[in-house]
């Protein structure tokens, strides 16, 4: 499966599940976006299974080398679980872990759940906006002596961060590791161009892309 096929199938899947919607939505940055992506709406077993498979295919295509998976709370928890299952179904049994937002003061205690963080750790998230979740994950992983090696996300909005770089590129530059995505806004742009039923949303996304996204 090529990247184009994977991204096209993923966008169609996200639209079908109403995870990717069109209209007018206010982003964390205060921008009025003509589309909205909410991975939390992959909220049943079948959707989560397919989402995990999309991630696994994207990660395999990227050629990333890693030893385990890490999902930051909260959205990263079901994501990392689904992805580890998808890999196991294909013969790759990776350990995974996630964190709690609040430290547990009884039982096993601490903020980490799952396999011990060690080796090269691949961080899983849905999107990157300000990169806060990734920075916190990188710090947590390094504190254990493990190495954060890359980030895998579902959708790269390709929006500018604090300067000329996109938020994703800023994360790559500041942490010295790659970020791979199943699809990005350029893929969405191409998908809309080839889909007459969604043509009405094309001009708004074109204008938003020209104003806020990297070239």
Q: Where are the domains of the chain?
A: 3-212
Q: What are phi and psi of 64, to 5 degrees?
A: -60, 140
What CA–CA distance (Å, rounded) separates 156 from 119?
26
Q: Which pLDDT tens digit goes with each residue over 151-193?
A: 999 999 999 988 889 999 999 999 999 999 999 999 999 999 8
Which of 50, 57, 106, 160 is catalytic? The answer is 106
Beta-carbon count within 10 A of 87 CB = 20
Q: Categorize the per-residue pLDDT at 105 as very low, low, confident or very high, splitting at 50, 70 and 90.
A: low
Q: Give the mean pLDDT of the chain.
A: 92
Paired tokens of 118: 């060690």
What CA–CA distance (Å, rounded) separates 213 from 207?
10
Distances 69 to 2, 46, 57, 139 between C-alpha atoms, Å: 23, 21, 15, 15
Helices assigned H by DSSP within the chain: 3-16, 45-62, 76-89, 132-143, 167-175, 185-193, 202-212
- Tell the CATH topology of 3-212: Rossmann fold (3.40.50)
Q: Which pLDDT tens digit goes with each residue over 114-151?
A: 999 999 999 999 999 878 889 999 999 999 999 999 99
Which residues lie below 8 Å from residue 147, measured CB to CB, with a gap of 6+? 119, 120, 121, 141
Q: Categorize the per-residue pLDDT at 103 as very low, low, confident or very high, splitting at 50, 70 and 90.
A: low
Confirm whether 92 is a catalytic residue: no
What CA–CA distance (Å, rounded) separates 167 from 157?
9
Please give the average per-residue pLDDT across 66-91, as a whole number.
96
pLDDT at 161: 86
28 DSSP assignment: T
Which of 57, 75, 104, 160 is catalytic? The answer is 104
Confirm whether 75 is a catalytic residue: no
**Category of 96 on φ-ψ map: left (φ > 0), alpha (ψ -120 to 50) or beta:** beta
pLDDT at 61: 96
Residue 40 has pLDDT above 90, yes or no: yes
Q: Tally the C-alpha atoms within 13 A of residue 126's C-alpha that lie toward its C-beta.
A: 19
Q: Categorize the per-residue pLDDT at 1 as very low, low, confident or very high, splitting at 50, 70 and 90.
A: confident
Q: Tally the C-alpha atoms within 13 A of residue 96's C-alpha that lie toward its C-beta.
A: 24
């Amino acid at each position: 499966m090529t990247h184009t096929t994977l991204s096209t199938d993923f966008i169609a899947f996200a639209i079908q599940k109403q995870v990717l919607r069109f209209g007018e939505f206010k982003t964390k940055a205060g921008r009025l976006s003509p589309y909205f992506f909410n991975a939390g709406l992959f909220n049943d077993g079948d959707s989560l299974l397919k989402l995990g498979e999309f991630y696994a295919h994207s990660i395999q295509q990227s050629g990333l080398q890693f030893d385990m998976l890490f999902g930051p709370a909260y959205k990263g928890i079901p994501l990392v679980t689904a992805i580890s299952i998808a890999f196991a179904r294909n013969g790759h049994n990776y350990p995974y872990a996630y964190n709690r937002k609040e430290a547990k003061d009884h039982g096993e205690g601490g903020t980490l759940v799952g396999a011990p963080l060690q080796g090269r750790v691949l961080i899983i998230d849905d999107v990157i906006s300000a990169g806060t979740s990734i920075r916190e994950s990188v710090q947590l992983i390094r504190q254990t002596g493990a190495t954060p090696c890359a980030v895998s996300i579902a959708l790269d909005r390709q929006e500018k961060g604090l300067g000329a770089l996109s938020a994703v590129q800023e994360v790559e530059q500041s942490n010295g590791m790659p970020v791979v995505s199943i699809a990005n806004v350029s893929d969405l742009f191409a998908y809309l161009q080839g889909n007459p039923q969604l043509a009405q949303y094309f001009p708004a996304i074109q204008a938003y892309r020209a104003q806020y996204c990297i070239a």
